[in-house]
């Protein structure tokens, strides 16, 4: 618990030997995570974390922050790290194609 609310850490696993067909395990994981995030957003939660958003969760940024936030973040990144050495591909998309690919599993259940 924090002064501004609670931080809930949840881990889940799936018994790989019981998943059928095995080719669907990524889609199953994505479905559980996306539905969980939908519930978090519905009740005012966010994806912020003391380690940062990172590669796997950046697709949820547009549901968490304003467009201005993304413009500012991109500007800081270009000024401080113009060669894109640090945190490569974290939080900021390098291309529209990458963003489209990354959003393929995101559910729009709002």
Domain contains 84: yes
Instruction: Note down the domain range covering 84.
Output: 16-105
Active-site residue identified among 2, 9, 11, 43: 9
pLDDT band at 76 (very low <50, low <70, confident <90, very high): very high
Residue range 53-74: mean pLDDT, rounded = 83
Domain contains 83: yes
Q: Which residue has the tokens 């547009």?
A: 62
Q: Establish whether 9 is a catalytic residue.
A: yes
Nearest Cα residue to 36 out of 9, 17, 69, 70 = 9
At 103 the three-state DSSP class reads: helix
Looking at the structure of the chain, the number of domains it has is 1
Domain contains 60: yes
Q: Which of 23-32, 66-75, 90-99 has the highest mean pLDDT?
A: 66-75
Separation of alpha carbons 20 and 37, rounded Å: 25
- Distance between terminal CA atoms of the chain? 27
Domain contains 9: no
């Amino acid at each position: 618990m924090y002064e501004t609310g609670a931080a809930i850490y949840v881990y889940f696993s799936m018994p790989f030997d019981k998943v059928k067909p095995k080719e669907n395990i990524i889609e199953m994981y994505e479905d559980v995570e996306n539905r969980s995030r939908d519930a978090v957003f519905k009740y005012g939660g966010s994806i912020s974390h003391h380690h940062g958003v990172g590669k796997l969760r950046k697709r949820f940024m547009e549901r968490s922050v304003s467009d201005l936030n993304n413009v500012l973040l991109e500007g800081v990144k270009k000024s401080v790290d113009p060669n894109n050495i640090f945190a490569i591909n974290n939080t900021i998309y390098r291309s529209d194609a990458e963003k489209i690919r990354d959003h393929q599993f995101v559910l729009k259940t709002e």
